[in-house]
């Protein structure tokens, strides 16, 4: 299969999702060794889970399919440019390449606008709209100290 075939599948997933009423117009597929190993559709409204974006759903399914928390040597095809949350998840999953159809500007035109999140990330914590306060750092550091000396940790 060619990259265009994988993108067509991601787009097909997004269209089917709209037609089924299960969520927003977003789909994603994850490919390893020229085979689709996972598909994901936006399930935010049907699952009452704001993190159930197509890319995250696909990442979870792909990790389950291969039995690993890293998707090294896998590519993701998204019907739309990933939002900040999905982009972060893609980086954490260690995917190799991202291919997308619609742009974030296309999404904004149908009222899926994440620009305010991009802007918030750039602001100092004290200037963000969502009040953010640090509490109990010394107590919280205990877990980090234990992690740094643990023989049981699996680094990622």
Catalytic site positions: 55
Which residues lie across from 77 on neighbouring strands? Answer: 29, 99
Separation CA 125–CA 132 (nearest Å) = 7
Query: Which residues 6+ apart lie within 8 Å of 85 measured at CB?
Result: 51, 53, 56, 117
Other Cβ atoms less than 10 A from the Cβ of 124: the count is 7
Which residues lie across from 38 on neighbouring strands? Answer: 30
CA dihedral (105, 107, 108, 112) positive or negative: negative
The label of the residue with tokens 């109990």 reads 136
Q: Which residue blocks in 22-68 are alpha helix, DSSP H? A: 44-47, 54-66
Tokens of 131: 């009040």
């Amino acid at each position: 299969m060619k990259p265009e075939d994988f993108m067509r599948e991601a787009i097909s997933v997004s269209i089917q999702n709209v037609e089924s009423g299960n969520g927003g117009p977003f789909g994603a597929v994850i490919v390893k060794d020229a085979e689709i190993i996972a598909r994901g559709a936006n399930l935010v409204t049907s699952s009452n889970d704001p993190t159930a974006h197509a890319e995250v759903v696909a990442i979870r399914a792909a990790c389950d399919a291969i039995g690993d928390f890293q998707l090294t040597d896998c590519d993701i095809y998204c019907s739309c440019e990933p939002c900040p949350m999905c982009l972060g998840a893609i980086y954490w999953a260690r995917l190799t390449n991202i291919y997308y159809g619609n742009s974030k500007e296309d999404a904004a035109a149908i009222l899926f606008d994440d620009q305010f999140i991009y802007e918030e990330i750039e602001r100092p914590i004290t200037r963000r709209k969502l009040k953010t306060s640090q509490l109990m750092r010394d107590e919280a550091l205990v877990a980090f100290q234990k992690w740094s000396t643990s023989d049981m940790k699996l680094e990622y």
